[in-house]
Amino acid sequence: MITIDKVSKHYGNFQVLTDCSTHVNKGEVVVVCGPSGSGKSTLIKCVNGLEPFQQGDIHVNGTSVGAPKTNLSKLRAHVGMVFQHFELFPHMTIRDNLGLAQIKVLKRDKDEAAEKGMYFLDRVGLKAHAHKFPGQLSGGQQQRVAIARALAMDPICMLFDEPTSALDPEMINEVLDVMTELAQEGMTMMCVTHEMGFAKRVAHRVIFMDHGKIVEDDSKEAFFANPRSERAQQFLAKILQH
């Protein structure tokens, strides 16, 4: 589904990603973790072309992200993305947040978009809030809306960029629950997250990054039981202590 092949990226002299290669199979849940500044957010943003990269290529469902002639908008329309800061559109009601891209990108008519939106809003348990504005919802609720907004586009895979990092601790679980459910339904997911509990429960594979390199890329059992690199061992020791 997603193939990342020897991707490197730099800002000027600063190397952000070095020779990253991995893949996400259909129906697979891959968690990307690592210390801050390790390039994990940058890597996931390269997958749908939000961040350009200088070397290597990424293919999503067979389409090259790096090729200049690729219609990135078309590709992104079917790759759902959830951001750290939710990024709902504050001037639109929840209903319109879910409808906008369905109508403008997928050319669905208004009623169809509204119906689809309501279906996913119901799935994340927020049907009653459809008429509200994002600013009137809690962080956890906003993030669930953001997930519903991505799902309403019928994505072939979902990218999560630290979806719970900006949330109060008590709201993290409501978001993780939605993600877990999604994973169990067989959605292909690539998740940048520090939630190791989520990784243990849901992930198939774990990728560990450090200094712009993929240091570990292993099944979750192998990763948690016996990380090969010293850096990952340190990371796990620190993060699992509490």
Partner 1 sequence: MEYQWNWGVFLLPSAVNDGTYLDWMFAGLKTTLALSLSAWVIALLVGAVVGVLRTAPHRGLSFAATAYVEMFRNIPLLVQLFFWYFVLPEMLPAAVGDAFKAMNPVAQQFIAAMVCLGFFTSARVAEQVRSGINALPRGQKNAGLALGLTLPQTYRHVMLPMAFRLVVPPLTSEFLNVFKNSAVCSTIGLLELAAQGRQLVDYTAQPYESFVAVTVAYLAINVVVMLLMRKTEALVRVPGYLGGK
How near is the Cβ of 209 to partner 1 at its closest, in Å?
20
**Does residue 76 touch partner 1 according to CB under 8 A?**
yes
Span interacting with partner 1, options 89-97, 174-182, 207-215, 228-236, rule CB under 8 A: 89-97
How near is the Cβ of 159 to partner 1 at its closest, in Å?
8
Q: Which of 10, 127, 132, 211 is in the footprint of partner 1 by CB under 8 A?
A: 132
CA dihedral (232, 197, 146, 150) in degrees, to 10, reads: 70
**Does residue 110 touch partner 1 according to CB under 8 A?**
no
* Contact in structure between 219 and 204 (CB atoms under 8 Å): yes
**Does residue 90 touch partner 1 according to CB under 8 A?**
yes
Number of Cβ within 10 Å of residue 131's Cβ equals: 10
Q: Which of 46, 118, 147, 150 is in the footprint of partner 1 by CB under 8 A?
A: 150
How near is the Cβ of 91 to partner 1 at its closest, in Å?
5
Span interacting with partner 1, options 25-33, 120-128, 133-141, 192-200, rule CB under 8 A: 133-141
Applying CB under 8 A, what is the total number of residues that bind partner 1?
Answer: 34
**Does residue 100 touch partner 1 according to CB under 8 A?**
yes
**Does residue 156 touch partner 1 according to CB under 8 A?**
no
HEC string of the chain equals CEEEEEEEEEECCEEEEEEEEEEECCCCEEEEECCCCCCHHHHHHHHCCCCCCCEEEEEECCEECCCCCCCHHHHHCCEEEECCCCCCCCCCCHHHHHHHHHHHCCCCCHHHHHHHHHHHHHHCCCHHHCCCCHHHCCHHHHHHHHHHHHHCCCCCEEEEECCCCCCCHHHHHHHHHHHHHHHHCCCCEEEECCCHHHHHHHCCEEEEEECCEEEEEEEHHHHHHCCCCHHHHHHHHHHHCC
How near is the Cβ of 153 to partner 1 at its closest, in Å?
7
In the complex with partner 1, which residue's Cβ is closer, 83 or 120?
Answer: 83
**Does residue 160 touch partner 1 according to CB under 8 A?**
no
Backbone angles phi, psi at 89, to 5 degrees: -90, 110
Q: Which of 34, 39, 117, 134 is in the footprint of partner 1 by CB under 8 A?
A: 134
Residues that bind partner 1 (CB under 8 A): 45, 48, 50, 72-74, 76-81, 83-85, 87-91, 100-101, 104-106, 132-137, 149-150, 153
